[in-house]
Homo-oligomer: A and B are copies of this chain.
């Protein structure tokens, strides 16, 4: 469905140079890209979402809340259909929410689509850089390992697979430890040096 939309547009776009295209281009350049350029390497999702909320030109669809501490999607349908595709490669409200969650936004009201993130506030675009995307942390106990504990029989291949995963995790952990050790010894080495130079300074004074 969405592929079709994208395709249909492209077909159309290629056989006619409409003025809409230029209008669109201008909008894009002074809109989304502006923040992007200013904000070093802000993830596109953040700059685009800020744009979307701050100047979609459709406050009846999405806007800041009264305090400017969160934003509210008043008309999810319209957001999906008209606004999302302006900024993203889809028109699904659920995909938008998935991204919000990935970046740590929370639904902050039960009776409306209000989303909040400490670093996402009206007039404070400079805070956006402090929003971090959640990584998929290496889980210590993968879900499929848990299953085994319930007592069912697992074949060799499964165990072998688990073994591999554990080995990988092990290597990764060892690497982390090595890094910590290096950092540690660096610190410990520089400390006496630092103290010595300090002592010297005192003696000289």
- Chain A residues at the B interface, C-beta cutoff of 8 Å: 1-14, 18, 20-21, 24-25, 27-28, 32, 48, 81-82, 85-91, 138, 140-142, 145, 149, 154-156, 159-160, 162-164, 166-171, 173-174, 176-177, 180-181, 183-184, 187, 195, 198, 201-202, 205
Name A2's contact: one of B5, B89, B160, B173 (CB within 8 Å).
B89
- Taking A5-B9, A8-B24, A154-B156 as given, write out 15 further A-B residue pairs in contact, using a Cβ cutoff of 8 Å, ordered by the A residue number: A8-B9, A8-B21, A9-B9, A11-B86, A14-B81, A138-B167, A140-B167, A140-B171, A140-B174, A145-B164, A159-B160, A166-B166, A166-B167, A177-B177, A202-B202
Kindly list chain B residues whose C-beta atoms are within 8 Å of the C-beta of A160: 145, 149, 159
| Most chain B beta-carbon contacts within 10 A, residue among A8, A140, A141, A163 | A8
Kindly list chain B residues whose C-beta atoms are within 8 Å of the C-beta of A156: 154-156, 159
| A170–chain B nearest beta-carbon distance, Å | 6
| Most chain B beta-carbon contacts within 10 A, residue among A27, A91, A163, A164 | A163
12 A-B pairs (CB sep. < 8 Å)? A1-B28, A6-B6, A7-B24, A10-B82, A11-B86, A12-B20, A14-B81, A138-B164, A149-B160, A154-B156, A163-B166, A173-B174
Task: Give the residue name and chain of the B residue nearest to A160 (CB).
Answer: B159
Q: Contact check, A89 vs B89: say whether CB atoms are below 8 A apart.
A: yes
Bound: A166/B170 CA distance, A? 8
Kindly list chain B residues whose C-beta atoms are within 8 Å of the C-beta of A166: 163, 166-167, 170
Task: Give the residue name and chain of the B residue nearest to A205 (CB).
Answer: B202
Q: Given that A8-B9, A8-B20, A12-B9 are known contacts, is A163 also in contact with B164, CB under 8 Å in the complex?
A: no
| A108–chain B nearest beta-carbon distance, Å | 28
| A50–chain B nearest beta-carbon distance, Å | 15
Kindly list chain B residues whose C-beta atoms are within 8 Å of the C-beta of A86: 3, 7, 10-11
Kindly list chain B residues whose C-beta atoms are within 8 Å of the C-beta of A205: 202, 205
